Amino acid sequence: MIATGVTIDMSSRTFFAIPSAWRKKLGIKQGNLAKLCIKNNSIVINACNQYTTEIVSTIGREGQIYIPAEVRRHFDIKGIKRFEVFIDEINKRIILKPNLN
């Protein structure tokens, strides 16, 4: 897993943009669905090319992924607002891990 050095603040934004270099490595394209799930207190984002009943967000033109309200609410209840962004190149996913500092 690669630490990107990027931290996002969920209280000021409801989305984050995936840089083009990461999108290319992970095969993420505009209009694809991004499947979001909560695992081990982290948000795991996978590109998905088909409809699923899991929590999804459509990937925007500049790689924007909207973090749905139910995911934001889950972490807000726990008092977690900041996340560090990691790239898992092997499993082709993005992981947002809580930054508790």
pLDDT digits (tens, 9 = 90+) for 4-62: 888 888 776 678 888 888 888 888 888 888 888 899 889 998 887 666 667 888 888 88
Q: For tokens 């000021």, name the residue.
A: 12
d(CA 85, CA 83): 6
d(CA 44, CA 39): 7
What's the predicted TM-score (pTM) here?
Answer: 0.81
Contact 47, 30 (CB under 8 A): no
Mean pLDDT of 64-82: 86
d(CA 29, CA 76): 29
Strands 42-48 and 93-98 turn out to be antiparallel
Residue 92's pLDDT is what? 87
Q: For tokens 């931290």, name the residue.
A: 7
